[in-house]
Amino acid sequence: IGRLGAACGNFGVMVKAYAYIRSLGAEGLKEVSENAVLNANYLKEKLKPYYHLPYDRTCMHEVVFSSKTQKAKGVATLDIAKRLLDYGFHP
pLDDT digits (tens, 9 = 90+) for 11-27: 888 899 999 999 999 99
Q: Is residue 4 part of a domain?
A: no
Q: Is residue 76 part of a domain?
A: yes
For 70-89, the pLDDT digits (tens) are 898 999 999 999 999 999 98
Q: φ and ψ at 52, to 5 degrees? A: -75, 130
Q: Is residue 3 part of a domain?
A: no
CA dist., res. 53 & res. 68, Å (int): 9
* Sequence-ordered list of residues with C-beta below 8 angstroms from that of 48, at least 6 positions apart, any chain: 56
Number of domains in the chain: 1
Residue span of the structural domain in which 72 resides: 9-86
pTM over 0.85: no
Q: Is residue 23 part of a domain?
A: yes
CA dist., res. 59 & res. 56, Å (int): 8
